[in-house]
Amino acid sequence: MRMSLRLPLFVLICILFGLLSACSDDVEGGQDTGSALSDAGTDALGDAQTDSSPSDTSEPDSSESDTAPNPECGDGDLDEGEECDDGTNDGSYGTCRVNCTLSPYCGDGLITHAETCDDGNADAGDGCDDTCQPEDGFICRTPGELCQANTCGNGAIEDGEACDDANQSSGDGCDETCTSVEPGYDCQFVGQACIAAACGDGVIAANEECDDGNGVSLDGCSKRCVIEDGYKCPTPNQACEPTTCGDGVVEGLEECDDGDTDGGDGCDSNCALEIGYKCPTAGQDCVATTCGDSTVEGAEQCDDGNADANDGCDADCQLEPGYACPTAGQSCVETTCGDGVIEGLEECDDGNLTAGDGCDPLCREELIWDCTGGTCDPVCGDGVTLYPFEACDDGNLTSGDGCSAACTVENGFQCTDFQNQTPPSIEVPIVLRDFKGANESGGHPDFESFSCGVYRGMVEDQLGADGKPVYTGAGCATSTQSFDQWYHDTPGVNITVVDTIELTQRTDLDSTGRTYRFASNDFFPLTGIGFGNTPGESKNFHFTSEFRSYFEYRGGEELAFTGDDDVWVFINGRLAVDIGGLHSAVSDSVTLSDTQDAQTGQIYDARFDIFEGGVYEIVVFHAERHTTQSNYRLTLSGFLNTGQSTCESVCGDGVISGIEQCDDGNADDNDGCSSGCAIEPGYNCTGTPSTCERPECGDGVIEFPEECDDGNTDDSDGCSSLCELESCGDGTVDLGEGCDDGNDVATDACTNRCQPAACGDRVVHAGVEECDDGNSVDTDACTNNCTIATCGDGVVGPGESCDDGVNDGSYGSCLLDCSGRAAYCGDGRVSTVNGEECDDGVNDGTYGTCNPDCTRGGFCGDGVIDTVTGEECDDGNDQWGDGCDGTCETEPGWVCQDDGNGGSSCIPAG
């Protein structure tokens, strides 16, 4: 049965006020039967039918029980304490749960089941209808709250909107409800189309053709997220894939693919249509078209019904300058550049003949501009800041770094370049390509093989379609193919290295400060790299260089070059300096015109087809091909006037940006946010502008930068008086610690367990101990004071025989190498030079031996009668025949008497 979607709320209110019976009476207009859900009813929580009339007040039939049945959830009756009871209670949407509470239903203020909105009621016409689906013209943002009239698409940010690009469509950056910016987009310009947030974020957004997840070129998807020639990019955030011309499949930027790479058959070797052909079916032969048949097909740009030239459509059915051929088979009409209408060969027409606004006076799209219809915009992200059209250009399309993806300066940043400045020096990139000489294995035939001197006319007057010089066939090169390798990356032939050169400001040449020079008479940037130095030389002589830069043409710019060998300078793709050949240093220069064109009133240089205010490219191609010398001096005056922006956050402006941690609107220190916009120790900074406060340690509330707060300011309880966690290594000696040196190094004087280092603990403590073997043996390799045993340390260690700490080899000490002792008393050798009288190696002082000090002990002949040893006499010698013999006994016939000195004086008897 279907449950009423409105009555349950009413019933619920009644329950809350304890008025269920009264409510039932009001609903029924009569007595309450006690049944909220019954088989007789017509609605789950609606009118409960009874057999009694509204006025029936009679007593119950005496045959009925005097006791009413006990209330039970699931009996179909709405009893006290129940929100609903439909007798089924299966918990399905819009019914009752098993515990007699309401299941989710439309109008409960919660989005459940198939609901997409729920404003807390089941009324239609208020934005969320009676089935809880949104109604046109409304936005239902918050469940349980009333919907609001939808103003998304009016081009203004209003309450609850995150963006508004003046439409209600998704997929363009701002969703259909204006409540969220879609991934990959930046919708900073209210009322305008959203732009790609960043080329390289892996999301294809706005006018991006591809996005492979990086911001670099030459991998199929350029740094501007444009598909590069020779690639296809089918999947965002994945690498692009090379296309293969000749595989019979048209893909990427191919115009055709007839299954081969032959030219002259309608589809050339680069899979571009050839004039006079059409290629309707990929993989099949192209067919010739007929110019003059009034049908535009294949590579034809027009067909006016004839094959005549000079009528707007030439004999190959290609448009002629100054004409448009809007209708096939009819005459062409002249075009007017500057009328605001793009016609014929015009690339753009912005309604004027002014250069420097994207569309030049000949209706050609200017370099580093994008023109759509009559509107031209500078290419954001190319690293060239075009004032006043761009406020900045930092060389990428990434927002949040100071210069947005729309080349506007972001809040909290300031951006500078050298548009209106003259820095002391400027670093510019230069591409170097290393080659081997022709006399080396695998060498290039054009290097170290010619001696032609200066040769002008080696290259064409205009760069090729690839922006590189075109060989004329004359001069000092082997062939067109070999010359093309000079400035093209060619695996196995050259090695490419990207470097920089520094141009220094020369105020001595130009007081305005707009003249810069790089000069070197020893220009060998690849020495030791690439293929390595030239054999037999200390330098790398064989290389080419390529320098490119943009400039805004103002008139009067000057370029001068002096160097060797080949040098070609191109301005706007036109040859300006021509010094080909192998030669010593040669100079040439060019000065751009500062004369106004009579027709346009603008400064114009017809040699290079450049108009005042336009941005053009200058390219210097150079080659070093012979092992004699290498000179390179480039002087630019007025050319370096556009550049890449450098953006930095502005500390003190009240906006947190870049690397700032805080910004309190000033650049003062000691207020919580430093002069470098870093949060100072002991402060907590919130909001923008930042409000910085010191947290109160000890208040029991942990606030940055507190690590803890235990409600007191006591130390040694785990949380210090500075509200820092106490631990070993915090520099404070806490309870249980013997030391704390503020680090966790285990090998210094205080271990990482915060106990003093001790010799014998098997840990070598740097600066205190040399070794620690954990024992108390003083004669091993590590002594008991934890120093490494060495000869001279006073301890006899491994391999040593003697070590007295002096070891000078003097009498009584140890030898220098600790291999033994020098002469000493007791060594068994009498060292008279050291005053020894005797040394028998025992030196115990017994009769007839040596004393411990290497003097002689008592002996017969020492002039002292030693009666203990049995001497009868001692006349001071051990001779016989003088009365006292050699054994100190009195000789027969002699009488020996005390001589008064302890010895004997002997005389013959009688």
3-state per-residue secondary structure call for 57-84: CCCCCCCCCCCCCCCCCCCCCCCCCCCC
With beta carbons less than 8 A apart as the criterion, state whether 620 and 578 touch. Answer: no
In a domain, 568, yes or no: yes
In a domain, 440, yes or no: yes
With beta carbons less than 8 A apart as the criterion, state whether 573 and 463 touch. Answer: yes
> What pLDDT shows up at residue 420?
59
Q: Are both 556 and 529 inside the same structural domain?
A: yes
Q: Are both 597 and 676 inside the same structural domain?
A: no
In a domain, 125, yes or no: no
Where helices occur in 124-228 by DSSP H, the ranges are none
CA nearest neighbour of 547 among 615, 617, 607, 614 = 617
> What pLDDT shows up at residue 418?
64
Q: Are both 576 and 614 inside the same structural domain?
A: yes
Burial category of 613 from C-beta neighbours within 10 Å (exposed 0-12, middle 13-18, buried 19 and up): middle
Q: Are both 592 and 508 inside the same structural domain?
A: yes
H/E element holding 17?
none
In a domain, 340, yes or no: no
Q: Are both 580 and 462 inside the same structural domain?
A: yes
Strands (E), 682-733: 684-686, 691-693
Residue identified by tokens 């954990």 is 774
> What pLDDT shows up at residue 175?
93
DSSP-derived letter for residue 128 is: B
> What pLDDT shows up at residue 703?
78
Tokens standing for 621?
A: 């191609």
Domain end (from 613, 648, 683): 648
Which residues of the chain fall below pLDDT 70?
1-70, 418-421
In a domain, 527, yes or no: yes
Residue 499 neighbours by CB distance under 10 Å: 13
In a domain, 773, yes or no: no
DSSP-derived letter for residue 834 is: G
Domain end (from 594, 613, 648): 648
In a domain, 476, yes or no: yes
Tokens standing for 323?
A: 């004409």
Q: Are both 685 and 544 inside the same structural domain?
A: no
With beta carbons less than 8 A apart as the criterion, state whether 839 and 855 touch. Answer: no
Q: Which residues are within 8 A (CB) of 343 and not within 5 positions of it... i.e. 6 or more apart?
A: 324, 326, 335, 349
Which residues constitute the domain of residue 540? Answer: 425-648
Strands (E), 811-863: none
Q: How far is CA 68 from CA 60, 71, 72, in A?
A: 11, 9, 12
CA distance 509 to 515: 7
Q: Which residues are within 8 A (CB) of 245 and not within 5 positions of it... i.e. 6 or more apart?
A: 230, 254, 257, 261, 269, 270, 271
CA distance 303 to 637: 48
Tokens standing for 348?
A: 């753009």
Q: Are both 627 and 686 inside the same structural domain?
A: no
Cα Rg of the chain (Å, integer): 52
CA nearest neighbour of 545 among 521, 574, 566 = 566
Residue 435 neighbours by CB distance under 10 Å: 29
CA distance 390 to 403: 10
Domain end (from 616, 648, 680): 648
Nearest 5 degrees, angle CA 409-CA 415-CA 419? 115
Q: Which residues are within 8 A (CB) of 613 and not within 5 positions of it... i.e. 6 or more apart?
A: 354, 355, 356, 357, 552, 553, 554, 602
Q: Which residues are within 8 A (CB) of 513 and not within 5 positions of it... i.e. 6 or more apart?
A: 422, 505, 507
Return the C-alpha torsion angle 829, 835, 838, 839, nearest 10.
-40
Q: Hey, what long-range contacts does 236-245 have (CB within 8 A, 24 or more apart)?
A: 236/202, 236/203, 236/204, 236/210, 236/211, 236/212, 237/202, 237/203, 237/211, 237/212, 237/213, 238/212, 238/213, 239/212, 240/210, 240/212, 243/271, 245/269, 245/270, 245/271
3-state per-residue secondary structure call for 344-413: CCCCCCCCCCCCCCCECCCCCECCCEEEECCEEEECCCCCCCCCCCCCCCCCCCCCCCCECCCCCECCCE
pTM of the predicted model, to two decimals? 0.53
H/E element holding 9?
helix 7-16
Q: Are both 556 and 679 inside the same structural domain?
A: no
Q: Are both 497 and 559 inside the same structural domain?
A: yes
Burial category of 481 from C-beta neighbours within 10 Å (exposed 0-12, middle 13-18, buried 19 and up): exposed
> What pLDDT shows up at residue 793?
85
Q: Are both 592 and 489 inside the same structural domain?
A: yes
Residue 843 neighbours by CB distance under 10 Å: 21
Q: Are both 518 and 659 inside the same structural domain?
A: no
Could you report the per-residue pLDDT of 791-813, keeping only the tens digit for each?
888 888 888 889 988 888 889 89
Tokens standing for 440?
A: 């080396």
| Total of domains in the chain | 3
Q: Are both 578 and 661 inside the same structural domain?
A: no
Beta bridge partners of 649: 413
> What pLDDT shows up at residue 567?
97
With beta carbons less than 8 A apart as the criterion, state whether 213 and 238 touch. Answer: yes
In a domain, 606, yes or no: yes
